[in-house]
């Protein structure tokens, strides 16, 4: 990212001015149906991509089909009216969406054309022929319960240092800190990965499937909700105890509290990391991160509708900065850049109809 300070509070202010409920709808309903460019993946960016799906068009035809992340096991989607694209498993989380994209491209079915990702994990996908295209800038803070769930809400300090958060999330014994019940989103979540590896500074590879829970590396940390299901990221109404704390995307909290997406923040409040206000995080703060649309290399090199939609500062996504801001994000200064690739190859992938 260029060395340039910006304030995510710009996104917060614009979001506050836009209170139209339902401006970022869920699964695409047409017209047209189907959309040319379908995606699954990140919970964090589904709201902004849903909103962009309502405004990004070529020749008056909407292009993006952004499918929400799964909220329960066994959910499916139908992206196109072919047998291969009917009732396919609905992923949840950045990496799960990317894996679904890779599997689809390898099968040559063209049901999916990109994936939403709140994490840059391109080194984990060498040989999958992907380009990670930044389009917005987000931040990760932490959420606690405010008044409403209980008379006073959480006693957890709303200003914690990185060192304190690291202590909370790296307990290894069975004698846990009395005043904290640390939570993590399900494995595969980009927010979880970024929080552990970048915000806490644990480094690449720290986010593993057995990080949390009984028998895990850090049994004092949980990645399941009260019903024992994998914890959905950025879903504050799943916090049920005033001692709970979890990483939370600032963009999601803004969009939820301003009703630009379905409001699931519950009674949560955002905490500040290292004294930097959550809603005004500059580019040197611990929790700032780019978010991406992950596109197969063959579609990036074009000519293709995908290239028109995603590639370069003049792309249709990058030219819709007002839509990005309304969803609580800042426009990434490198919007549309194609530098980050898992590898430079095309493989056997091809450009499908409309892609």
pLDDT in tens, 118-154: 999 999 999 999 999 999 999 999 999 999 888 889 9
For residue 203, is pLDDT > 50? Answer: yes
pLDDT at 282: 55
Residue with tokens 């609905």: 90
What DSSP assignment string belongs to 50-114? HHHHTT-EETTEE-EEEPPPPSSTT-EE--SSSGGGSSEE---SHHHHHHHHHHHHHHT--S-SE
Name the pLDDT band for 286 (thresholds 50, 70, 90): confident
Q: Which residues 6+ apart lie within 8 Å of 210 measured at CB?
A: 216, 217
**CA distances from residue 134 to 276, 308, 335 in whole angstroms, order as listed:** 24, 15, 5
pLDDT at 10: 43
For 151, how many CA atoms within 13 A lie in the half-sphere containing its CB?
A: 0
pLDDT at 307: 98
| Residue 89 token pair | 């498993």
pLDDT at 276: 86
Give me the residues paired with residue 133 across strands. 293
pLDDT at 15: 40
pLDDT tens digit sequence for 297-323: 999 997 999 999 999 999 999 999 999
Contact, 44 vs 58, CB < 8 A? Answer: no
For 255, how many CA atoms within 13 A lie in the half-sphere containing its CB?
A: 32
What average pLDDT does the segment 141-169 reach? 95
Q: Rounded CA gap, 53 and 145, in Å?
A: 33
What average pLDDT does the segment 193-218 reach? 96
pLDDT tens digit sequence for 67-105: 999 998 899 999 999 999 999 999 999 999 999 999 999
Q: Rounded CA gap, 12 and 9, in Å?
A: 5
For residue 326, is pLDDT > 50? Answer: yes
Q: By C-alpha distance, which of 183, 137, 155, 154 is closest to 45?
A: 137
pLDDT at 62: 97
Ramachandran quadrant class, 39 (left: phi over 0; alpha: psi -120 to 50; beta: rest): beta
| Residue 268 token pair | 């949560």
pLDDT at 283: 61
pLDDT at 29: 83
Name the pLDDT band for 284 (thresholds 50, 70, 90): low
pLDDT at 151: 86
Residue 231 is given by DSSP the state: P
The mean of the pLDDT values for the chain is 91
pLDDT at 149: 82
Residues above pLDDT 70, as percent of the chain: 91
Q: By C-alpha distance, which of 83, 111, 143, 154 is closest to 273?
A: 143
For residue 1, is pLDDT > 50? Answer: no
For residue 279, is pLDDT > 80? Answer: no
């Amino acid at each position: 990212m260029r060395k340039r300070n910006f304030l995510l509070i710009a996104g917060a202010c614009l979001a506050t001015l836009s209170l139209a409920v339902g401006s970022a709808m869920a699964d695409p309903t047409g017209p047209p149906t189907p959309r040319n460019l379908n995606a699954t993946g990140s919970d964090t960016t589904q709201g902004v991509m849903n909103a962009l799906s309502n405004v990004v068009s070529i020749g008056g035809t909407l292009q993006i089909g952004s499918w929400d992340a799964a909220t329960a096991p066994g959910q499916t989607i139908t992206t196109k009216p072919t047998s291969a694209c009917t009732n396919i498993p609905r992923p949840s989380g950045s990496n799960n969406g990317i894996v679904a994209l890779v599997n689809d491209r390898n099968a040559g079915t063209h049901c999916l054309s990109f994936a939403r990702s709140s994490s840059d994990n391109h080194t984990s996908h060498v040989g999958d022929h992907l380009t990670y295209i930044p389009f917005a800038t987000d931040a990760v803070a932490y959420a606690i319960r405010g008044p409403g769930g209980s008379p006073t809400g959480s006693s957890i300090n709303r200003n914690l240092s990185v060192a304190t958060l690291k202590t909370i999330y790296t307990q290894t014994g069975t004698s846990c800190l009395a005043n904290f019940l640390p939570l993590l989103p399900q494995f595969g979540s980009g927010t979880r990965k970024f929080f552990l590896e970048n915000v806490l500074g644990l480094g690449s590879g720290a986010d593993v499937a057995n990080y949390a829970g009984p028998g895990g590396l850090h049994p004092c940390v949980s990645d399941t909700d009260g019903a024992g299901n994998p914890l959905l990221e950025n879903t504050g109404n799943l916090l049920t105890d005033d001692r709970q704390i979890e990483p939370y995307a600032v963009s999601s909290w803004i969009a939820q509290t301003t009703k630009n997406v379905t409001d699931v923040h519950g009674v949560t409040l955002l905490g500040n990391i290292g004294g930097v206000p959550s809603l005004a995080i500059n580019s040197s703060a611990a929790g700032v991160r780019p978010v991406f649309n992950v596109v197969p290399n063959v579609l990036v090199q074009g000519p293709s509708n995908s290239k028109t939609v995603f590639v370069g500062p003049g792309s249709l996504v990058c030219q819709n900065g007002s839509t990005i801001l309304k969803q609580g994000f800042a426009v990434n200064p490198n919007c549309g850049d194609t530098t980050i690739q898992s590898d430079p190859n095309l493989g056997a992938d091809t450009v499908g109809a409309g892609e």
